[in-house]
Amino acid sequence: MIPLPARYCALLVPIFVSLFAAESPPRPNILLIVADDLGYHDVGFQGGRDIPTPHLDRLAASGIRCTDGYVSYPVCSPSRAGILTGRYQQRFGYEFNPKWDATAATHGLPLSETTVADSLRSAGYTTGAIGKWHLGAHPQFHPNRRGFDEFFGFLGGGHRYLPGSIVEVEVGAGKKGTTSGDAEQASPLLRNTTAVPEVGELTTRLGEEAAAAVTRHARNAKPWFLYLAFNAPHTPLQAREDMLKKFSAIADARRRTYAAMVATVDEAVGRIVTALEATGQRERTLIFFISDNGGPMTKRNANASVNSPLHGQKGDVFEGGIRVPFLVSWPARIPAGRTYTQPVISLDILPTALAAAGATRAAALAPLDGTDLLPFLTGKNDSAPHARLFWRMDGGEAFAVREGQWKWLRTYQNAPQLFDLAADLGESRDLATARPEIAARLAAASAEWNRGLIAPAFGNNPFGGLINRTGLEKNSAP
């Protein structure tokens, strides 16, 4: 073999470097945005008209809107446990909201579970969490101990939006008060573990903190992961005066305030995307946007949301409780302006993020229930990401399973029902009697899935105290 002259070798070096760079693009930044109790129909990209959401609509246009996007639980904290672990949270006993109690060492995300932040930090990412935690108030559950390098927010499940305001909370059936719930609403804002003053409206401040983090980390060599967890538009219904004035034409005072809160979330998202663009990071940032569950239209903590055309609401395994706005945007990899109609679930976020980052989980860890969506969203795989999706509520008081167009469910003491979602999105025509073979197949699949779950590790009823789990064994099977 005749060696090449040195001058030719020098010319070939940049060619090889260029080819290597083309095959190994920079790892993306990853931004996960979660709204709280957002109605399915309350943003423009979902068909809403009375609440303009131009920034979220632009985000939807820049990527893919998953029309059949679900969460793994229709209530705040268990849903978030599923999002951050990529596993059905009932596998590790997380089926109720935890108590607001810094001494409750069992009320939180079990230390045996690995979060998306744990895995991405191990892969060399800088990790941050901003906003609502709600995965345990005991110090061992603090975000800084669950894979997040940085944290700004509050540890509870809710927080007042306006500094110094008194929040009226439910303390019993039909009764109001300002007991422990108000203490949670007025709990300290934390920067890591240090309390900081409440300054300005909360959603606005969370957006400012996120935009500042995006700008600050643009100067770092390492990619970053940011979990931005809003508590809006969850109650209490509070908003900035200038936002309220924008919706003065809405006659209903609750809906007017709710609209102002949703618009403030949209404004905050716009501020973050602007920061990404200004720092040249937008093309290489993978963004997810979802709500943690459906809107609570009439139940406790109702917030004047609208889930049309779905049936049900937060706390239900009907579509209105578990189907949510679901966006994925990554300009460098994912096509823009499309919809994806196969069922996907919030458990898919973790494996999708890890795949995008080129990160892996230790083989010894429990297997994930989510699926990497990138091959499906980019068109490389035209099959369905999931054969079936499952739900269980309250230790077995309610179940649901979706398989293609079919959805089977049993709610509390009611008879099982079967719906054809392709023809009946509003779940108004029960076909369990007309199609008994499908109902039986899905009931059996739900029972088989349930055998891989455990009983709730803790319970917390809406008015404080532990749920009476008498009868759990009786109700634990579909």
Catalytic one of 107, 134, 142, 159: 134
CA distance 79 to 234: 15
Whole-number pLDDT of residue 462: 41
Question: In 10 A of CB 473, how many CB atoms?
Answer: 11
Whole-number pLDDT of residue 174: 47
Same domain, 395 and 323: no
Whole-number pLDDT of residue 176: 54
Whole-number pLDDT of residue 450: 97
Per the structure block, which two tokens stand in for 347? 């458990």
What residues contact 460, with CB distance under 8 A and at least 6 apart?
96, 97, 98, 99, 107, 466, 467
Same domain, 187 and 284: yes
134 part of the active site? yes
Whole-number pLDDT of residue 168: 72
3-state secondary structure of 391: strand
Amino acid at position 220, single letter = N
Cα–Cα–Cα angle for 86, 89, 93, rounded to 5 degrees: 145
Same domain, 350 and 393: no
Per the structure block, which two tokens stand in for 178? 């300002």
3-state secondary structure of 473: helix
How long is the chain? 478
Task: Give me the number of domains the chain comprises.
Answer: 2
Task: Please list the rounded mean pLDDT of every run of 10 residues in the chain (478 residues).
Answer: 48 42 74 98 97 98 98 98 98 96 96 97 98 98 98 97 83 48 91 97 98 96 97 97 98 97 98 98 98 93 96 97 98 98 98 97 93 98 98 96 98 96 98 98 98 90 37 45
Same domain, 307 and 239: yes
What residues contact 456, with CB distance under 8 A and at least 6 apart?
90, 93, 94, 95, 96, 394, 395, 467, 469, 472
9 part of the active site? no
Last residue of a domain, one of 348, 377, 406: 377
Whole-number pLDDT of residue 12: 47
Beta bridge partners of 420: 406
Same domain, 151 and 235: yes
Q: What is the residue range of 469's domain?
A: 389-475
Helix (H) or strand (E) holding 69: strand 69-70
Whole-number pLDDT of residue 6: 53
Q: Tell me whether residue 6 is in a domain.
A: no
Nearest residue to 452 via CA among 475, 476, 418, 474: 476
Same domain, 117 and 216: yes
CA distance 439 to 9: 69
Catalytic one of 41, 55, 66, 76: 76
CA distance 351 to 369: 9
pTM over the 0.85 mark: yes
Whole-number pLDDT of residue 173: 44
What residues contact 65, with CB distance under 8 A and at least 6 apart?
45, 325, 326, 327, 338, 339, 340
Q: Tell me whether residue 382 is in a domain.
A: no
